[in-house]
Structure 1
Amino acid sequence: MSKLAEFRALEQKLAAQLAELESLKNDNVLKQEIEFDGKLRSLLGEYGYSLRDVIQILDPSARAEVAVLPAKNARKPRQIKVFKNPHTGEVVETKGGNHRTLKEWKAQYGAGTVESWLS
């Protein structure tokens, strides 16, 4: 399609949309809806409520749906692991492998040996 034909097609579409816009501006139902929306928003601002708050107040089923939503997927708590050093008798309780003393033991005795100390 040439640029001129494309320009004329867009110009026709624009003219049709402008005509539709003018007819909507003269529509009484649209004027009433705009007036209602303006009054509603000013009233909500006056009382400090949002549209979501009003929906929750007026529609109990919407409130029930919000309450039914599950909590964030929480993983189960980690299990405490107890390591006892047979050489020193020292005991370390940890939920993860990032314990300072445990790291030192693994560096000194080897990871496999330290894991065997798990009680």
Structure 2
Amino acid sequence: MSILASYREKEELLRKLQDELKKMEENQQLKKELDFKSEVEALLDKHQRSVADLLEIFGLNASTSTKVSGRGNRRSRKMKVYQNPKTGEKIETRGGNHKILKEWKKEHGSETVEGWLVEEKD
């Protein structure tokens, strides 16, 4: 594509975006939201506060939220410690997909193995 053709394409895109902006500026709901935003910002400036202060006042800061893992907003599971009373072997797992735990449940039954739960940690 030539530079001139690319330039004309960008001009057309710019014109379309400008038309969309004009239509949006006429929208009453957008006007109300922009007015609200500017009033909140003015109030924060008047009282020498930041948006972070506002979030803290309303209890919406990240430090008070629940503990989250690195994968989205899912809460991390508790560490469970099982001890086989026959062999004395201990295993620690955060889920039921542990190889040895599965073998124990297959051999002794799920209810029995759950009775071997020694400790739960965060």
TM-score, normalization: structure 2? Answer: 0.48
Structure with the greater alpha carbon radius of gyration: 1
**Structure with larger RCO (C-alpha < 8 A, sep 6+):** 2
TM-score, normalization: structure 1? Answer: 0.49
Q: Which structure shows the higher helix fraction?
A: 1
Q: Which structure shows the higher strand fraction?
A: 2
